[in-house]
Amino acid sequence: MNDNTNEILNRLAALYPDAQPALHFKSPYELLVAVILSAQCTDERVNKVTAELFKNYNTPEKMLSLTQEQLEKYIFSCGFYHNKAAHILSASRDIIEKFNGKVPNTLEELKTLAGVGQKTANVVYAVAFDGDAIAVDTHVFRVSNRLGIAEGKTPQKVEEGLCAAVPKELWSKTHHYLIYHGRRVCHSQRPDCVNCTLKELCVFYNKTR
């Protein structure tokens, strides 16, 4: 853990005071579907797809009026469309049959749904239900390791490190701060270290100087 974690968090909060989810949604169910679609796909692409999909299929009941083949045609451009369609339909069925048509609001129950792993459950829990959770996507994983806030070779290890290093009430906000910083500054291939206001606190930068 970086000894400067608190200062890093303060600077990230100042840099991205309006950090919020990039996915467009109007209900917990729409968010769940969008997050499933976002696996290895950009949020921008998902938003384009769900803008059309949600016009007529924005509840579990309406989604299940589609066959898997029909749903695949809507979500084809998101990639991995066969598995994603199967997961969305299966999760929709479970929501109706096991949870009275409502997306469950606990991490444990969310993870019983098809296609919902730790990251997806954390996002839905934190964003839709104001829960305390840190979802580790590629940006969070990369930036956490580089800054030294939480270092690990797996998303689970990084999540554990973040939860230990960051006050619980800041978990959800920190998730968005790290995503924004990863997208705008700490890029995968060419991180903009020169213009990064965190560089003197960053483990990666100080190792490569």
pLDDT value at 1 more than 90: no
pLDDT at position 138: 94
Catalytic residue among 26, 98, 119, 199: 119
- Mean pLDDT value across residues 104-112: 97
Residue 206 DSSP symbol: H
CATH 1.10.1670.10 fits 5-19+134-208, yes or no: yes
Residue 30 C-alpha from the chain's centroid: 14
Respond yes or no: is residue 137 known to be catalytic. Answer: yes
| Phi, psi values for residue 192, rounded to 5° | -85, 65
Average pLDDT, the chain: 96
2 — pLDDT class (breaks 50, 70, 90): confident
What is the SS3 assignment for 43-56? HHHHHHHHHHHHHH
Percent of the chain with pLDDT over 90: 96
Catalytic position from the list 137, 173, 199, 207 = 137
Show Cβ contacts of residue 167 under 8 Å, excluding neighbours closer than 6 positions. Answer: none
Quickly count: other Cβ atoms within 10 Å of residue 136's Cβ.
25
Domain limits, the chain: 5-19+134-208, 28-129
Distance (Å, whole) CA 192 – CA 95: 43
Minimal CA–CA distance to 37: which of 151, 180, 1, 29? 29
Tens of pLDDT, residues 21-41: 999 999 999 999 999 999 999
Q: How far apart are CA 184 and CA 169, in angstroms?
A: 24
**pLDDT the model gives residue 3:** 84
- For residue 123, the model assigns a pLDDT of 97
**Cα dihedral sign, 18-24-26-32:** negative
Arithmetic mean of pLDDT, 174-183: 96
Tokens 């169910």 -> residue:
29
pLDDT digits (tens, 9 = 90+) for 144-156: 999 999 999 999 9
Mean pLDDT in residue range 58-87: 98
Band (pLDDT 50/70/90 cuts) for residue 209 is confident
Q: What is the pLDDT of residue 7?
A: 96
The fold of the 28-129 domain, in CATH, is Endonuclease III; domain 1 (1.10.340)
